Amino acid sequence: MKTTRITTGTMTRRSVLRGGAAIAGSMMLGAPALANTKPVKLGVLMPFSGGLELFGEQAMQGIEMLVDETNSSGGVLGRQIEIIKADNRTDPKTSVERVQELIRRDQVDAVIGPVTSSARDAMKSSIERGRKPLLYAIDYEGGVCSDYIACYSPLPAHYVDPLIPYLMETVGKKVYLFGADYVWPQKMNEAISKSVAATGGTVVGEEYTPFGVKDFSTTIRKIEESGAEAVVLSLPGADGVTFIKQFTAAGMKNKTRLAFLGFNENYLPGLSAPESEGIIGCSAFIQTLDRPESKDFVARQKARYGDDVVVSNYVDSHYGITKFFLEAMKRADTDETDKIMQALPGNLTIANGEVTMRADDKHVDLNMLIFEARDQKLQMQKYVGKIIAPNQCA
């Protein structure tokens, strides 16, 4: 079995009776008895295995909570929402197989996911042929333009525009760029290099590594010899944790500051206090953000998942993109894809203020902030506000 159906929300005796009364009422009025009983189906296509399952689990946290809340308040267009969970195994080929199953067999109303750009790009033609929305909510390198894809994603401008001037002002002007050898770090570093030069800094080294490297001693020696005052790291997952541990053990944190693109609360349990202390990052949301909507969002997550739950920007972004879709469905008053996508642009307040979904490229303008890891928590250092990235269809 490739997919799992999940019905979220608590079905109380009252809600069952209310639903029965609604059906009975529609029968009395002569309306089709089952008109509003067909669920809205959301296909969640994520890596639940294969190495990036943490991202899939965090995405599910946000989606499940929103679906719970929506179902408890009556659903959408009088219909309850059903999640159909599918595992792409962190693999582009499997992603194509699963998205075709979700569209053809499960007849979902939208697909949420995946994580990697390679999987998303592999799925694009299936999404467009099937004329179903793909809701993508992971930071990426930019450039996606489609009538059927909407992105709640920090783009290079969201990170680079606030972070690089901050590093130049507070850390130093000599920067070393180190990332994994794939498109996102390369595109990010291309934008970073331009920003460093524009602010009077110098890129003293740029290097990429394949996934799975266990010994970073050669790279750490190069960084030390370069005289870098800051390292901008774009090495996600376990490899990033391994690098930070070895960087700290080599005594480099006393000489060079680490800025980690994509760093969030999920990394903290894998690092000791000395290893995480002082890491700089940029994000649209952190769990400790002192804003009313942020505190409310975290409180609702804790009420659902327990006090120890990790609430990262991935939880926020997948909650956000799903809410944009469901609100557009309400405004369009239909489950027709083209009309929903036309109704998608607008403003919503999520976990960090008002977010704008743009009509021209169906990407969002996000409120960004700069944080540092302190006492094994992420603490805001500067609230930047809304960053308007370039049109991705231009």
Type of residue at 329 = M
Note whether 277 and 374 are within 8 A (CB).
yes
Dihedral over Cα of 132, 365, 312, 157: its sign: positive
- Token pair recorded at residue 163: 């972070």
Please tell me whether residue 302 adopts helix, strand or coil conformation.
helix
Residue 378 confidence (pLDDT)? 98
Sheet containing strand 134-136, edge to edge, reads 3-6, 81-87, 40-46, 110-112, 134-136, 149-151
Cα distances (Å, whole numbers) of residue 376 to 64, 236, 288: 27, 18, 11
Per the structure block, which two tokens stand in for 220? 């750490």
**What are the DSSP E strand ranges found in 284-329?**
none
Structure tokens at 100: 């075709």
Domains and CATH numbers, the chain: 3-153+313-345 (3.40.50.2300), 156-283+370-387 (3.40.50.2300)
Beta partners for 206?
177
pLDDT digits (tens, 9 = 90+) for 86-125: 999 989 999 999 999 999 999 999 999 999 999 999 999 9
- Determine if the pTM surpasses 0.85: yes
Q: Which amino acid is at 194?
A: K
Q: Are strands 280-283 and 364-374 parallel, antiparallel or unpaired?
A: antiparallel
DSSP 76: B
Report which residue type is found at 117.
Answer: S
Which segments in the chain show pLDDT lower than 70? Answer: 1-36
